[in-house]
Amino acid sequence: MTFADFHLKPQIMKAIEAAGFKEPSPIQKEAIPVILSGKDIVGQAHTGTGKTAAFALPILNMLELDGEPEALVIVPTRELATQVSDEIFRLGKYLGIKTATVYGGSSYSRQLAHIKNAAVVVATPGRLLDLLQSGKIELNPKFVVLDEADEMLDMGFLDDIKAIFEYLPTNRQTLLFSATMPPAIKELASKILHSPEFISITKKEVTNANIKQYYYVVDERERDEALIRLLDYKNPTKSIIFCRMKVEVDRLSEFLRAQGYNAKGLHGDMPQRQREETIKAFKRGDAEILIATDVAARGLDISDVSHVFNYHIPFDPESYVHRIGRTGRAGREGIAVSLVTPHEFKQLLRIQKEVGSSLINKEIPTSTEIKDQKKRSIMQEVLSQEVSPEAIELVNLLEAENDISTIALKLATMVIQNDTTTGSEKIGKSLKEIERLLEQAKRELSRPNRGGNHRRGNYKGRGRSAQNYRRR
């Protein structure tokens, strides 16, 4: 199937070509024809599967451009609102589409002015409800999209969503997208959608085939050193490092900057302006490494992320899929790397089983291997370097007092002494140790569950450990 099979307007096809889209993703193949037919849908798909275009393309195709806001997209976070708005603007630019982005912490007057001129409004629930309840705006959209519905549920926006729909017309086409389908989301769908068609991307399609997934087993005290070693070895062009907690983001970003890396942190406690500047710097390439929490990075749409690192493996498979979905986009290859301790092996096995993809175990390269790789890299760089007139002049001057071999050795020494490879020669577990730990974890998982309170998700009666788990 190609995008031409959807029979979209020529202006939209031109934007698709300009965006570099080659063929529809699974969610786009399933959802676009249904939306074009006018039906409500419930789409179960993760971030990174192309779902923004899955709803944006058919909606753009059906807009009448009558001077009123015709489409409303509701998203959980400010960052996602900005990105969805940018994506819709990009896909609709040859139609002359204007979009308005509405979220808290920004000027009311500016947002109200943008809404008046927009065909598509992208909003977070809190600010949108505020504007509707205060009577500052009145919306009569033909199309309403709830994106990342489960995330809105987790963030406590469910009541706001229900209240928002009381202000919207009933004769609308409603599209709901969610990575998971908890009971509260199913109940919401039954109330706000009319005879929806359900579309679900299967587990086999969840993880992008372009993403190679690896894990390295380390002791807890080795995490920082292992991360540095892997950054040096893999030499990513642009990478995201995921942490579980905000305090880890702050500590790790400071640590990496102290080691000479161009790194920036991103989490929910940062001021909005700082968060926006951080994302823009990362997109531009002014920062090579972004260290983020799951919530802060939710919905990040940056097509050229080469590597994703899990500083800690996430608690659940859904988070793992969301994280690694930041790489391997737009047909590019991506690499996902997880640092795992022996205590986290059962978690790793559950993720592998539920996600339905294979994670390959690897040994962390030794200090000697890193140095050898750097030497090879320097050799390739030197051999591919074009000779400049200034270089010829410098060598001629040096040759007056030195032979060419001595000059070459001195220049090579200058380059090599910049090598900052430090730390232990060997970090982490060997493949043999990993196999032994893996078998042990498999045996423990296969044992009958003797205590009812030890099932996943049931923390009743587990005291402080349960509280700590939730607090994270």
CATH number reported for the structural domain that contains residue 96 in this entry: 3.40.50.300
Is there a domain that residue 241 lies in?
A: yes
Q: Does residue 179 sit in the same domain as residue 243?
A: no
Q: Does residue 158 sit in the same domain as residue 54?
A: yes
pLDDT of res. 99: 95
Q: Does residue 232 sit in the same domain as residue 357?
A: yes
Which whole number is the average pLDDT over 295-324?
Answer: 82
Task: Tell me the percentage of the chain whose pLDDT exceeds 70.
Answer: 90
Which whole number is the average pLDDT over 307-313?
Answer: 94
Which whole number is the average pLDDT over 384-413?
Answer: 87
Q: What DSSP designation does 48 have?
A: T
Q: Which of 127-131, 148-152, 282-286 has the highest mean pLDDT?
A: 127-131
Q: Does residue 196 sit in the same domain as residue 54?
A: yes
Is there a domain that residue 471 lies in?
A: no
The number of domains in the chain is 2
pLDDT of res. 273: 81
Give 111 or 456, the one with higher predicted confidence: 111
Give 429 or 208, the one with higher predicted confidence: 429
pLDDT of res. 175: 97
Residues 368-382 pLDDT 10s? 888 888 788 788 888
- Residue 102's domain comprises 3-201
Instruction: Give the pLDDT band (50/70/90) at residue 468.
Output: very low
Give the residue from 201, 229, 259 where a domain finishes.
Answer: 201
Q: Does residue 263 sit in the same domain as residue 348?
A: yes
Q: Strands across the sheet with 211-217, in order?
A: 263-266, 289-292, 239-242, 307-310, 334-340, 211-217, 360-362
Is there a domain that residue 373 lies in?
A: no
Q: Is the pLDDT of residue 31 over 60?
A: yes
In contact, 45 and 201? CB cutoff 8 Å: yes
Give the residue from 201, 216, 251 where a domain finishes.
Answer: 201
Is there a domain that residue 470 lies in?
A: no
Q: Does residue 262 sit in the same domain as residue 164?
A: no
**CA dist list (Å): 274 to 110, 121, 277:** 20, 24, 5
Which whole number is the average pLDDT over 212-229?
Answer: 93
Instruction: Give the pLDDT band (50/70/90) at residue 255.
Output: very high
Q: Does residue 244 sit in the same domain as residue 263?
A: yes
pLDDT of res. 207: 57
Give the residue from 201, 219, 250 where a domain finishes.
Answer: 201
Instruction: Give the pLDDT band (50/70/90) at residue 257.
Output: very high
**CA dist list (Å): 231 to 113, 311, 420, 431:** 46, 12, 12, 20
Is there a domain that residue 456 lies in?
A: no
pLDDT of res. 453: 41
**Closest to 237 measured CA to CA, from 309, 305, 310:** 305
Q: Does residue 170 sit in the same domain as residue 215?
A: no
pLDDT of res. 464: 36
Q: Does residue 311 sit in the same domain as residue 265?
A: yes
Q: Other C-beta atoms within 10 Å of 212: how many? A: 16
Indicate the pTM of the whole model: 0.59
Instruction: Give the pLDDT band (50/70/90) at residue 181.
Output: confident
pLDDT of res. 298: 67
As to burial, measured by CB atoms within 10 angstroms (0-12 exposed, 13-18 middle, 19+ buried), residue 253 is buried
Which whole number is the average pLDDT over 429-444?
Answer: 85
Residue matched to tokens 């996943």: 456
Q: Does residue 187 sit in the same domain as residue 292?
A: no
How high does pLDDT run on average in the chain? 85
pLDDT of res. 73: 98
Q: Is the pLDDT of residue 36 over 90?
A: yes
Which whole number is the average pLDDT over 49-78?
Answer: 93
Is there a domain that residue 32 lies in?
A: yes
Residues 138-168 pLDDT 10s? 999 999 999 989 889 888 899 999 999 999 9
Q: Does residue 180 sit in the same domain as residue 214?
A: no
Least confident of 94-103, 290-299, 392-401, 453-462: 453-462
Is there a domain that residue 411 lies in?
A: no
Is there a domain that residue 107 lies in?
A: yes
Instruction: Give the pLDDT band (50/70/90) at residue 458.
Output: very low
Q: Does residue 147 sit in the same domain as residue 222?
A: no
